[in-house]
Amino acid sequence: MATYLEFIQQNEERDGVRFSWNVWPSSRLEATRMVVPLACLLTPLKERPDLPPVQYEPVLCSRPTCKAVLNPLCQVDYRAKLWACNFCFQRNQFPPAYGGISEVNQPAELMPQFSTIEYMIQRGAQSPLIFLYVVDTCLEEDDLQALKESLQMSLSLLPPDALVGLITFGRMVQVHELSCEGISKSYVFRGTKDLTAKQIQDMLGLTKPATPMQQARPAQPQEHPSVSSRFLQPVHKIDMNLTDLLGELQRDPWPVTQGKRPLRSTGVALSIAVGLLEGTFPNTGARIMLFTGGPPTQGPGMVVGDELKIPIRSWHDIEKDNARFMKKATKHYEMLANRTAANGHCIDIYACALDQTGLLEMKCCANLTGGYMVMGDSFNTSLFKQTFQRIFTKDFNGDFRMAFGATLDVKTSRELKIAGAIGPCVSLNVKGPCVSENELGVGGTSQWKICGLDPTSTLGIYFEVVNQHNAPIPQGGRGAIQFVTRYQHSSTQRRIRVTTIARNWADAQTQLRHIEAAFDQEAAAVLMARLGVFRAESEEGPDVLRWLDRQLIRLCQKFGQYNKEDPASFRLSDSFSLYPQFMFHLRRSPFLQVFNNSPDESSYYRHHFARQDLTQSLIMIQPILYSYSFHGPPEPVLLDSSSILADRILLMDTFFQIVIYLGETIAQWRKAGYQDMPEYENFKHLLQAPLDDAQEILQARFPMPRYINTEHGGSQARFLLSKVNPSQTHNNHYAWGQC
């Protein structure tokens, strides 16, 4: 087993890929009997400090329907300067530049260690990154102040040549012109009226050459420096201007009478932002960053009316079909999201309010475009401030950890077909021979668009084995999959990352052991969870749970060792041992349980679950619990109420929250002030240890988790108590099943 674990880990590090099965069942029938589908988690832009991009373009298979990239799995005839595509078996000539190729003089892409390789494309003009701030002004004064400061601060973090724009909204939507001297100009739109992209562009004067500010409409986005210059300006040019402008931002001046919500035109504001970029910079890396402090209350996309006495929809309302605006609003935002995705832009949503802000309706904006979704209580919290700051962190090369407008192209060898993908992507609807008719997630295509990517963005990609049982694969045959990700790097270069992997086929009847041993239960748990969450978006919660249960049962049936009628005899091999536990926690997780969560929270959790990598996803499914005591170094303990002990400090990481919990005794000690007495310095250290560890997690986590420091009996201890397996409760002091 160790070998498989290493193999898996090595593969993940090199290719950013984790498969549920690392040895593939060789026929469709067998594959379906495996219960867990053949699938993988792909992190397309996994950071590879050791992998410098090559400065040339990939060599493509000449068959128009294939276009696979030359890779280490291809057979090469060095003498004839030919290579055979390992997906379609087309024989291709090497391009002239490869004239000097030989066994000893191989290009990087033919070397096995370059199963993942990144090409840098020199062609094409580079266009600067675009950041369009869409700012809600219906905020409390201090909230707005904090947000303004964050925005002003962000200007210093942006690449100097990036274009930046500002749209503010409240009852009206204002698009600010940034290039003006003296008087500050803005274009104002009514917050209640849905406008088409064409209208928006007309009204902003972007379509006609009539006004002196701009020349003819740019055919290529790159040539229009002047076109949108009024609204999108290089940071270095209008740094001061924009800082002032932000500084002068006032709360929405329209009066809000008692018992009313402020009128907030989020739907129109977003629509204008999308329209603006659509008209001026299609297919260029751009981020629309929406900062909102409450639900949209008017116009298209409104989520709740302005009467405070009518609360915003809850899950209960939704189940009762009582959410008046939900369908319409969702439709509006979906339309926007699709348009944005089509243009290769992405939308981030930063929603900070104590109540819901309509994330349920707006979620698609972030989900479909690969944008971020951040939910907080106030802009005046470190949660928001640091999260926002973290967006602009840089990698080891000094580049921003973001990429834009990516397309992911998946190619499979013929025994496989692509069933779908789940993640922050939209389908490009590219049908092909390797596209399965059975859809899992977003299917029916072999290409997806991911408008916003970062090094941790991870997609679940599902495959179907189509090889018929009666057409055995030759012994030693391998199935291959190639992932081609074309994207705009944050340095504005176009890049292509190609990952080609191969796995062995095995006959499930004869080689079940092999297959079993090559099961990656972590990946499988996450992949199954993604499927479940994906279903939960459209199906009733209980149905999803039943489905998950059934899958688990079938899996156990297939791979468990047991004697009938004897529960105690049940055994699962090591490679499956954790899987049921994951499923157990998954069932209780906020991704599938909506109880006690608002629709917004559910949307928020699901959003992150669908884009984080395997490790983070696992944390989300099954939070990590560490126990600190005088008895030894911190140790992971079961996420179970039995782990809550009086003389322990617990550190729980649920991804969204970090809880430090002091056991009853510890809390008393601290209260008594022992930590301040020199003779109890070790106690002080004990108290400090989880804090340090928490800091470590906080440093790396995006978005910033909610940091909770509590103790036995504290009100916030609920965060811990709600997560642990309630094996011991107030009416049951013994471990579950032991009474």
Partner 1 sequence: MNVNQSIPPVPPFGQPQPVYPGYHQSSYSGQSGSTAPAIPYGAYNGPVPAYQQTPPQGISRALPSSGAPPASTAQAACGQVAYGQFGQGDVQNGPSSTVQMQRLPGSQPFGSPLAPVGSQPAVLQPYGPPPTSTQVTAQLAGMQISGAVAPAPPSSGLGYGPPTSLASASGSFPNSGLYGSYPQGQASPISQAQGHPGIQTPQQSALSQASSFTPPASGGPRLPSMTGPLLPGQDFGGPSVSQPNHVSSPPPQALPPGTQMTGSLGPPPPMHSPQQPGYQPQQNGSFGSARGPQPNYGSPYPAAPTFGSQPGPPQPLPPKRLDPDAIPSPIQVIEDDRNNRGTEPFVTGVRGQVPPLVTTNFLVKDQGNASPRYIRCTSYNIPCTSDMAKQAQVPLAAVIKPLARLPPDEASPYVVDHGESGPLRCNRCKAYMCPFMQFIEGGRRFQCCFCSCINDVPPQYFQHLDHTGKRVDAYDRPELSLGSYEFLATVDYCKNNKFPSPPAFIFMIDVSYNAIRTGLVRLLCEELKSLLDFLPREGGAEESAIRVGFVTYNKVLHFYNVKSSLAQPQMMVVSDVADMFVPLLDGFLVNVSESRAVITSLLDQIPEMFADTRETETVFVPVIQAGMEALKAAECAGKLFLFHTSLPIAEAPGKLKNRDDRKLINTDKEKTLFQPQTGAYQTLAKECVAQGCCIDLFLFPNQYVDVATLSVVPQLTGGSVYKYACFQVENDQERFLSDLRRDVQKVVGFDAVMRVRTSTGIRAVDFFGAFYMSNTTDVELAGLDGDKTVTVEFKHDDRLNEESGALLQCALLYTSCAGQRRLRIHNLALNCCTQLADLYRNCETDTLINYMAKFAYRGVLNSPVKAVRDTLITQCAQILACYRKNCASPSSTGQLILPECMKLLPVYLNCVLKSDVLQPGAEVTTDDRAYVRQLVTSMDVAETNVFFYPRLLPLTKSPIESTTEPPAVRASEERLSNGDIYLLENGLNLFLWVGASVQQGVVQSLFSVSSFSQITSGLSVLPVLDNPLSKKVRGLIDSLRAQRSRYMKLIVVKQEDKLEMLFKHFLVEDKSLSGGASYVDFLCHMHKEIRQLLS
The residues that touch partner 1, with contacts defined as CB under 8 A, are 172, 174, 177, 182-190, 193, 195, 199, 202-205, 210-212, 248, 253-255
Least Å distance, CB 193 to partner 1, is 6
CB 402, CB 162: distance < 8 Å: no
Maximum CA pair distance of the chain? Answer: 85
Q: Are 482 and 87 in contact (CB under 8 A)?
A: yes
- Residue 330's Cβ-side half-sphere holds a number of Cα atoms within 13 Å equal to 14
Q: What is the DSSP letter of 307?
A: B
- Residue (200 or 465) nearer to partner 1, CB: 200
CB of 350 to partner 1, least distance (A): 25
DSSP code of residue 21: B
Asked whether 416 and 463 are in contact (CB, 8 A), the reply is: yes
Least Å from the CB of residue 195 to partner 1: 7
Q: How far is the CB of 497 from partner 1 (least distance, A)?
A: 43
Q: Which of 441, 654, 154, 675 is nearest to 146 (CA)?
A: 154
User: What is the distance between the alpha carbons of residues 7 and 356, in angstroms, rounded to a whole number?
Assistant: 44
Q: Which is nearer to partner 1, 119 or 187 (CB)?
A: 187
Residue 250 vs 382, nearer CB to partner 1? 250
Residue 443: DSSP 8-state = -
In this structure, how many other beta carbons lie within 10 angstroms of the beta carbon of residue 55? Answer: 9
Closest approach, Cβ 138 to partner 1, in A, equals: 14
| Contact between residue 23 and residue 503 where contact means Cβ atoms under 8 Å apart | yes
Place of tokens 């090595």: 10
Residue 183 or 240: the one with the smaller Cβ distance to partner 1 is 183
Structure tokens at 93: 């000539």
Query: Based on CB atoms, which residue is closest to partner 1, 92 or 201?
Result: 201
Q: Which residues have CB under 8 Å from 464's CB, separation 6+?
A: 28, 31, 37, 38, 416, 417, 418, 419, 436, 438
Distances (CA, A) of 583 to 248, 337, 534, 572: 52, 32, 15, 15
Nearer to partner 1, 254 or 734 (CB): 254
The minimum distance between CB 204 and partner 1, in angstroms, equals 7
Q: What is the DSSP letter of 108?
A: G
Give the pair of three-digit tokens for residue 672: 């008594």
Question: Closest approach of Cβ 143 to partner 1, in Å?
Answer: 20
Q: Name the strand (E) or helix (H) holding 701.
A: none
Cα–Cα distance measured from residue 203 to residue 306, given in angstroms and rounded to the nearest whole number: 28
Closer to partner 1 by Cβ: residue 173 or 529: 173
Q: Which is nearer to partner 1, 181 or 565 (CB)?
A: 181
Minimum gap (Å) between residue 174 Cβ and partner 1: 7
Q: Looking at beta carbons only, is 189 or 281 nearer to partner 1?
A: 189
Least distance CB 180 / partner 1 (angstroms): 8
CB-nearer residue toward partner 1: 230 or 670: 230
Min CB(113)–partner 1 separation in Å: 58
Which CB atom, from 185 or from 469, has the smaller least distance to partner 1? 185
Which residue in the block uniquely carries the two structure tokens 């176009």? 494
Buried b (16+ CB within 10 A) or exposed e, 241-271: bbbebbeebebbeeebeeeebbbbbbbbbbb
CB-based burial of residue 399 (10 Å sphere; 0-12 exposed, 13-18 middle, 19+ buried)?
A: middle
Least distance between partner 1 and beta carbon 140 (Å): 18
Closer of 158 and 204 to partner 1 (Cβ): 204
Nearest distance, CB of residue 176 and partner 1, angstroms: 10
Please list the alpha-helical segments (H only) found in 376-433. Answer: 382-391
CA neighbor of 644 nearest in space, from 665, 674, 615, 658: 665
Nearest to 281 by CA among 199, 212, 224, 341: 224
